[in-house]
A and B are shown apart, each in its own frame.
Chain A
Amino acid sequence: MSDGFTILDRLISAAGFRHRVISSNIANVDTPGYKARDVKFDQILGSEMRLSVTSPRHLGGNELGSKSELTAEEAQSWVDQNTVELDMEVSKMTENSMLYQAGVSMLATKFSMFKAALKE
């Protein structure tokens, strides 16, 4: 029952963390030598989001290792050794923000479902 909360909590935390990392990239778009960073979602969510498997044909049984949370992006670097690509960062941030808000909406819906159940 409470598993849904745990998963959504993880999703929101991970999306929030990635949002902070992307914000830092955007803030340092002109800092010489700054290396753009990103969060690999599969790696963080891997252990939490893995679905329980009762049949080998089920999805989600694969092991997603959690090697490192923060990775330096491999991108071409500018003359000043900075690897931030502003357009990419903005689009990633938009995408991540949608995911974050989707997670929050789902959590809110879950809460209202519980509330409705309690009222009956």
Chain B
Amino acid sequence: MDSFGVFRVSASALAAQRQRMNVIASNMANAHSTKTAEGGPYRRKDVVFSAEPENSGVDGLEGVKVSDVVADTTPPKMIYDPGHPDADKNGFVAMPNVNVIEEMVNMMMASRAYEASISAFDMSKANLMKTLDILKA
């Protein structure tokens, strides 16, 4: 039995949620970027989580990892702005498919999940410290 595996599971969740928050922050920062290295407007990114058993699952432990960061394939928003340098011949500009409100909601969800993992971590630590107190008995 691995007493410290539970800490790795909580830490894997913290790392995954942090990466998700990084991706969301990039989406919000680029909500109006019409130029990218690969051409065209910025495309919204999203993380894909997958469960990853610790110690081949014998301890009931399953951590989480970011298996992929994928681009959202919804088409860009077309906005009429003839004066924009990236406007097409009809005066429309392709803007990123980022919805700032949606990103805020995702950010809050990531933040709550992060907090929950911190609570789980704290509780694991409290249990282990209490176990060590048997030595003082």
Contact = CB atoms under 8 A, between A and B. Distances in A.
Interface of A: 12-13, 16-17, 19-24, 26-32, 34, 37, 39, 70, 86, 89-90, 93-94, 97, 100-101, 104-105, 107-109, 111-112, 115
Contacts of B64: 27-28, 30-31
Contacts, number: 109
Contact of B123 (A28, A39, A93, A107): A93
Contact of B49 (A12, A24, A32, A104): A32
Nearest to B3: A16
Given A90-B119, A97-B127, A108-B137, A27 B62 contact: yes
Given A97-B126, A111-B134, A27 B60 contact: no
Given A19-B6, A86-B116, A108-B134, A27 B12 contact: yes
A119 to B, nearest CB: 13
B10 interface: yes
Contact of A20 (B51, B59, B113): B59
A18 B131 CA distance: 16
7 contacts: A19-B123, A19-B127, A24-B63, A27-B9, A34-B51, A86-B116, A101-B130
A24 B134 contact: no
A101 to B, nearest CB: 5
A30 B59 contact: no
B120 A26 contact: yes
Interface of B: 1, 5-6, 9-10, 12-13, 16-17, 20, 48-51, 59-64, 109-110, 112-113, 116-117, 119-120, 123-124, 126-127, 130-131, 133-134, 136-137
Nearest to A34: B51
A104 B131 contact: yes
Chain B binding surface, main DSSP class: helix
Given A26-B13, A27-B12, A100-B127, 14 more contacts: A21-B61, A23-B10, A24-B62, A24-B63, A27-B10, A27-B64, A29-B116, A30-B17, A30-B20, A32-B49, A90-B116, A101-B130, A105-B130, A115-B137
Given A32-B49, A86-B116, A109 B137 contact: yes
